[in-house]
């Protein structure tokens, strides 16, 4: 049984012009100790997927479908019951470590508050646990770091502290939303190595959300590409990056500045992703797709299996690809 | 004279809590017309301070900037001297650099009106500029919130173009944008350079984009340039240990699950820069003497400049594998 099993997840948000679906019929699963990457442009629904797992959707937003975590249906839990799961069994880190830490509260308080709430342990044991956590995430001199304020740390160190806070209750699943986007590449490399080490040592399942395919290539076992709220392609990291089959995935990969195309211009996918609530009919990608046929305007693509764990949602491309 | 911009021995200092902080510590650079010079480095290395000083927003503590031979003086209340109007800047955050309460057209026309154009003509030129950056004249009467980040950055570029610039300093112009808008905006800059022959200093922490669009790259660390050369030289045969570390830290999207190399430690506080070579506390190839003697930038046989004692000839003294094997 997978640790996390999401089936037909649909997230509906309230916008000024009525309700709109930010995530549409999304299904995926995640095993213990596995790292899955979710990639897509802003507005593709990747963050809303994460927030629905944390039950932190914006006001008037709601999720339907099913989210099974350790066999428990998360969507059926009451808000009160959910408080024992959030931050305890499922934890999350955010993009900007400059704002996800409270600037006026010292590190020790931020690190131990929820340990004491969830685990009901004494202040002393919480203190020891906090020292151990800072050591795990490789903060030099943990004892004095506990007394310090967030502003005394660099961006990379703050992200390490945010990871320590997330790990405090030994969660089974860590959701990392653009964890290295705000950091320098040299610092990013350290955070990626840390996440990989935690997965191996603690058998932690990690869901990484990012638009950086390089980050996903280094860190993840599997990747799911999202467009306009739906999955377009998923597969093992090497399969998907070496042999992308969906036109959108191919476009993302050839738009990378590291691609070998010569000249100063970068390849781009023409057009813009659709706005929330204005999703095109049929395949949502068809207005930007170079391979689109007339049938793509009306038919919603279904899953087509390429190989084990590798599938795409595009009826056209298997015929033209490689 | 084929130099659009000539920056000599430039230093920028800030004073915080009675302490002196040297954000830029003696930089020499030149920029030719039609050239894109990439300026890269980690946050806190002084690249933005350098960019601001070049256009006259920051006052240099030492050294000078010459634009077409004219001394760039810090901006004052009287505004910009006419001979410097063709030197323009584009900022990182298109959400903060455009006034949310004024029409886009009026904001682009401002510069033209100051330059003496009547309002209706200024608006006509603004419409042409918006067309040029791919937005269309309908954007004239709209407001900033009606545009996405990539479109706002195009507006910022149109506003800079209003001054018919011959040199542009672009400070992280694509960092706040989505991947596909990043490509669109950097392609726009490249085609403008090709069309008008402007010189561009492109400041970014993203070496992979910089190497794609730049003719030359300068790598900055803690206020100093540690290596400068053609894109080919810097990307394919980096010489300075810091440049090599920066390049090996970029994760490759090849599906081979290789972890990028980690450069331990953070950029030190520029208020207390390390003695000797400023990179020595983090350098994997540090030698005796690096902690005391300051390496001057030297020109190698292939024409690049490197500030590192290890580089005595064009041969790379220590092979790259030594770093990779850490």
Domain residue extents for chain B: 1-214, 228-326
* pLDDT attached to residue A260: 63
B183 touches chain A (CB under 8 A): yes
Answer yes or no: do B180 and A185 touch at CB < 8 A. Answer: no
Residues of chain A predicted below pLDDT 50: 321-322
pLDDT for the residue A42: 81
Candidates A154, A155, A211; nearest CB to B179: A211
Residue B110 DSSP symbol: H
> Distance (Å, rounded) from C-alpha A240 to C-alpha B98?
40
CB B49 within 8 A of CB B60: no
User: Cα dist. B149→A158, B154, B184, B306 in Å?
Assistant: 27, 9, 12, 37
Residue A32 to residue A44: CA distance in whole angstroms: 26
| Closest C-alpha to B60, from B24, B28, B31, B86 | B24
Q: CA torsion, points B79, B80, B85, B89, in degrees to nearest 10?
A: -80
CA distance A225 to chain B (A): 14
| pLDDT over 90 (residue B76) | no
Mind listing the pLDDT tens digit for each residue in B201-249? Answer: 999 988 888 999 999 999 999 999 999 999 999 999 999 999 999 999 9
Residues 9-38, chain B, touching A (beta carbon < 8 A): 36
For position A182, what pLDDT does the model report? 81
Instruction: Check if B213 contacts A (Cβ < 8 Å).
Output: yes
The string of pLDDT tens digits covering residues A66-90 is: 999 999 999 999 999 999 999 999 9
Measured between beta carbons, the chain A residues lying within 8 angstroms of B251 are: 185, 188-189, 192, 212, 214-215, 217-218
Question: In chain A, what are the domains?
Answer: 4-106+166-313 (3.40.50.300)
Residue A269: the pLDDT is 85
B277, B293 in Cβ contact below 8 A? yes
**N-term to C-term CA, chain B:** 46
At B264-302, the pLDDT tens digits run: 877 788 888 899 999 999 998 898 989 999 999 999 889
CB count in 10 Å sphere of residue A15: 13
Predicted local confidence at residue B135, as pLDDT: 86
- State the pLDDT at residue B134: 84
Look up the CATH architecture of domain B1-214.
Answer: 3-Layer(aba) Sandwich (3.40)
Of A261-265, B136-140, B148-152, where does mean pLDDT reach its minimum? Answer: A261-265
- Which residue is listed with tokens 């706040």? B176
User: pLDDT band at residue B127, thresholds of 50, 70 and 90?
Assistant: very high
B36 or B289: which carries more pLDDT confidence?
A: B36
CA separation for the pair B311, B317 (Å, rounded): 6
pLDDT of B320 > 60? The answer is no
- Mean pLDDT is lowest, of A69-73, A314-318, B2-6, B29-33, for A314-318
Q: How many CB pairs under 8 A join A and B?
A: 127
| Alpha helices, DSSP H, located in chain A | 46-54, 79-82, 97-100, 107-119, 123-136, 142-147, 155-167, 185-202, 213-219, 237-242, 247-254, 317-320
Q: What is the pLDDT of residue A45?
A: 92
If you ran DSSP here, which 8-state letter would residue A308 be given? T
User: Residue B264 has what pLDDT?
Assistant: 80
Distance from C-alpha of A121 to C-alpha of A168, rounded to nearest angstrom: 12
Chain A residues with beta carbon closer than 8 angstroms to that of B172 = none
**Do B111 and B86 touch, CB atoms closer than 8 A?**
no
pLDDT at position A259, please? 67
User: Is there a contact between B178 and A211 if contact means CB atoms under 8 Å apart?
Assistant: yes
pLDDT value at residue B215: 96
Contact at CB, A252 and B266, closer than 8 angstroms: no
Which pLDDT score, from 0 to 100, does residue A187 have?
86
Q: Which residues contact A6 (CB under 8 A, 6 or more apart)?
A: A26, A27, A28, A29, A49, A53, A65, A66, A67, A68
Is the pLDDT score of B140 beyond 50?
yes
Parallel, antiparallel, or unpaired: how do β-strands B70-71 and A72-73 relate? unpaired
Sign of the dihedral defined by the CA atoms of residues A267, A270, A276, A280, in that order: negative
Answer yes or no: do B259 and A240 touch at CB < 8 A: no
Chain A residue with the nearest C-alpha to that of B204: A184
B70 contacts B30 by C-beta, under 8 angstroms: no
- From the list A185, A196, A253, the residue facing B259 with the nearest CB is A196
Determine the pLDDT at residue B175: 82
Contacting A residues, span 253-312, partner chain B, CB-CB under 8 Å? 253, 255-258, 264-269, 272-273
Which of B259, B207, B182, B156 has its CA nearest to residue B45? B207
User: Which residue of chain A is at minimal alpha-carbon distance from B249?
Assistant: A186
């Amino acid at each position: 049984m997978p640790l996390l099993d999401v089936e037909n997840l649909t997230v509906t948000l309230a916008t000024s012009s009525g309700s709109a679906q930010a995530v549409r019929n999304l299904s995926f699963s995640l095993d213990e100790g596995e790292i899955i990457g979710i990639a897509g442009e802003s507005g593709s629904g990747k963050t809303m997927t994460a927030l629905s797992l944390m039950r932190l959707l914006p006001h008037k937003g709601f999720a339907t479908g099913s989210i099974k975590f350790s066999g428990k249906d998360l969507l059926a839990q009451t808000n009160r019951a959910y408080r024992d799961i959030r931050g305890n069994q499922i934890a999350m880190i955010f993009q900007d470590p400059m704002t996800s830490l409270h600037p006026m509260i010292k590190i020790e308080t931020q690190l131990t508050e929820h340990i004491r709430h969830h685990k009901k342990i004494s202040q002393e044991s919480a203190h020891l646990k906090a020292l151990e956590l800072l050591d795990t995430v490789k903060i030099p001199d943990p004892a004095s770091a506990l007394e310090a304020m967030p502003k005394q740390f660099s961006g990379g160190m703050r992200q390490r502290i945010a990871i320590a806070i997330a790990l405090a209750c030994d969660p089974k699943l860590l959701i990392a939303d653009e964890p290295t986007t705000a950091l320098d590449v040299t610092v990013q490399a350290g955070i990626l190595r840390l996440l990989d080490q935690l997965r191996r040592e603690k058998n932690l399942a990690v869901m990484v959300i990012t638009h950086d395919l390089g980050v996903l290539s280094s860190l993840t076992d599997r990747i799911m590409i999202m467009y306009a709220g739906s999955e377009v392609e998923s597969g093992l990291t090497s399969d998907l990056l070496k042999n992308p089959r969906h036109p959108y995935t191919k476009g993302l990969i050839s738009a990378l500045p590291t691609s070998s195309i010569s000249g100063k211009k970068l390849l781009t996918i023409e057009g813009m992703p659709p706005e929330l609530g204005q999703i095109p009919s049929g395949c949502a990608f068809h207005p930007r797709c170079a391979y689109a046929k007339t049938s793509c305007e009306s038919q919603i693509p279904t899953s087509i299996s390429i190989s084990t764990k590798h599938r795409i949602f595009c009826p056209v491309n298997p015929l033209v690809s490689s | 004279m084929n130099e659009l911009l000539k920056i000599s021995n430039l230093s920028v200092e800030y004073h915080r809590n009675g302490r002196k902080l040297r954000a830029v510590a003696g930089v020499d650079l030149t920029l030719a017309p039609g050239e894109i010079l990439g300026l890269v480095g980690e946050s806190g290395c002084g690249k933005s301070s350098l960019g601001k000083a070049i256009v006259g927003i920051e006052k240099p503590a030492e050294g000078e900037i010459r634009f077409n031979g004219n001394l760039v003086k810090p901006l004052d209340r009287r505004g910009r001297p006419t001979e410097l109007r063709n030197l323009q800047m584009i900022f990182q955050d298109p959400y903060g650099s455009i006034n949310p309460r004024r029409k886009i057209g009026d904001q682009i026309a401002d510069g033209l009106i100051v330059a003496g154009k009547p309002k209706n003509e200024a608006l006509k030129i603004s419409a042409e500029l918006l067309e040029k950056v791919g937005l269309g004249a309908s954007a004239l009467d709209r407001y900033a919130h009606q545009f996405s980040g990539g479109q706002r950055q195009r507006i910022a570029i149109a506003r800079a173009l209003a001054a018919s610039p011959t040199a542009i300093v672009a400070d992280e112009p694509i960092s706040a944008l989505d991947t596909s808008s990043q490509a669109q905006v950097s392609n726009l800059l490249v085609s403008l350079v090709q069309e008008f022959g402007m010189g561009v200093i492109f400041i970014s922490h993203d070496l992979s984009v910089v190497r794609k669009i730049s003719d030359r790259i300068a790598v900055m660390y803690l206020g100093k340039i540690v290596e400068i050369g053609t894109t080919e030289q810097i990307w394919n045969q980096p010489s300075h240990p810091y440049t090599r570390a920066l390049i090996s830290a970029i994760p490759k999207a090849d599906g081979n699950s290789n972890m990028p190399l980690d450069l331990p430690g953070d950029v030190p506080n520029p208020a207390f820069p390390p003695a000797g070579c400023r990179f020595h506390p983090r350098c994997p190839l540090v030698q005796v003497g690096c902690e005391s003697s300051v390496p001057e930038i030297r020109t190698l046989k292939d024409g690049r400049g490197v500030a590192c004692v290890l580089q005595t000839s064009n041969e790379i003294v220590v092979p790259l594998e030594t770093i990779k094997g850490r």
